[in-house]
Structure 1
Amino acid sequence: MSEAITIRRVGMNEAMACVDALADVLIDCVEGGASVSFMWPITRQTAVAFWRRVAEGVASDERILLIAEGGEGRIVGTVQLITAQPENQPHRADVAKMLVSRSARRQGVAMRLMAAVDEAARDAGKSVLVLDTVTGGDAERLYERSGWVRVGTVPNYALMPDGTPCGTTFFHKQLVPLTSS
């Protein structure tokens, strides 16, 4: 039986306190082969510096940070919503760094994070979301099951952590505002 998972938004005061735990998740994912902008071996210094920049973005209200916590409050997953967009795109946000620790996969954590990111986007007044992912990976199927629409694929767009070229598939999602009854 899997442990209870809680999904929640991290505010600006807490984001910096989560940096080390988020670095653990990032390192685990990159070590496991996830193409999420980092090469293996990723240093702890690199991972911590990345999450500090994310925390600064949360503090400046440029992004929303969601975390998934397992037993005893251990962070096992995360996703970001980048809300700072050009002035002609105030209705749009980018979904970034959807990460789940290998030990917490196949337990519905990613689906719950994606549902939470939809809710956070609506709360922020966003109606168009975009993201990209490795072509042919598990995340592609996750996004399709979550209602995302495939836009297209760019071959050799990025590198896997081991340096192997990989294609990237782009998705969008049009959010319909929730109506209260």
Structure 2
Amino acid sequence: MSDEVTIRRVQANEASDYVEALADVLIDCVEGGASVSFMLPITRETALAFWRNVAEGVVRGERALLIAEDEHRNVVGTVQLVLAQPENQPHRADVAKMLVHRRARRRAIAQRLMHALEDAAREEGKSVLVLDTVTDGDAERLYQRAGWQRVGVVPKYALMPDGAFCATTFYYKHV
């Protein structure tokens, strides 16, 4: 596989075009054990419904959706910035669903997605970003290397796709 990967923000008028490809990435990640809000077995319809909702959020301006595409324009990764926040938090956004297909890992795609996400946050006037991730997972190292500040851990916060409990670590970053 070539290392040529393009990171870009999906525009509102094209968001629905990526639902199928993003569903493939989500299914791969959940089947690979990622705790990203879904349980096994994950159905294609569940994944499609999730991404249709995300696409609608992009159209409404509530989310920024970034994708990583390989040299064949296959989506191999994604991350979201949840822009819609309460009235007293217009400066904040949540990072959601950092996903990289298993066949494309170990190529700095997640790191590049996060840099692009921070640029998108600045463009949107967001200065505080918040995320959560599985404690002791691979993503923690990514966030720490990128300068994210650990806030704390909540034991048994979520379930892994197989039903086992997992702790969740919360992070923030000022951009």
Task: Kindly report which structure 2 residues correspond to 1:37-116, keeping only aligned pairs within 5 A, or say none.
Answer: 37-116=37-116
- What TM-score comes out, normalization by structure 2 length? 0.99
Q: Report if aligned partners of 2:68, 2:77 keep a CA contact under 8 Å in 1.
A: yes
- Sequence identity of aligned pairs in percent? 71
**Which AA in structure 2 matches 1:78?**
T
Deviation, structure 1 residue 2:
3.4
* Separation in 1, partners of 2:77, 2:41: 20
Give CA-to-partner distance per residue, 1:74-133, whole Å, 9 cap, x none.
000000000000010000000000000000000000000000000000000000000000
Counterpart of 1:17?
Answer: 17
1:3 Cα deviation from its structure 2 partner: 2.7
Runs of 4+ aligned structure 1 residues displaced above 4 Å come to none
> Which secondary structure does the structure 1 equivalent of 2:88 belong to?
coil
**AA in 2 matched with 1:156:** K
1:144 aligns with 2:144: yes
Conservation of the 8 A alpha-carbon contact between 1:130 and 1:170:
yes
- Counterpart contact for 2:159–2:165, Cα < 8 Å: yes
Structure 1 position 13, deviation (Å): 1.3
The residue that corresponds to 2:169 in the other structure is 169
Q: Deviations over 1:131-153 (max 9, x none)?
A: 00000000000000111000000
Whichever residue aligns with residue 18 of structure 2, its letter is C
CA contact (8 A) 1:2 1:107 kept: no
Q: State the superposition RMSD in angstroms.
A: 0.7
Q: Gaps spanning 5+ residues in structure 1: where?
A: 176-181
- Letter in structure 2 aligned against 1:47: A
Asked whether the 8 Å contact 2:93–2:121 carries over to 1, the reply is yes
How far apart, CA to CA, are the structure 2 residues paired with 1:146 and 1:42? 31
Give the TM-score normalised by structure 1: 0.96
Tell me if the contact between 1:155 and 1:168 (Cα under 8 Å) persists in the aligned partners. yes
User: Structure 1: which amino acid aligns with 2:36?
Assistant: V
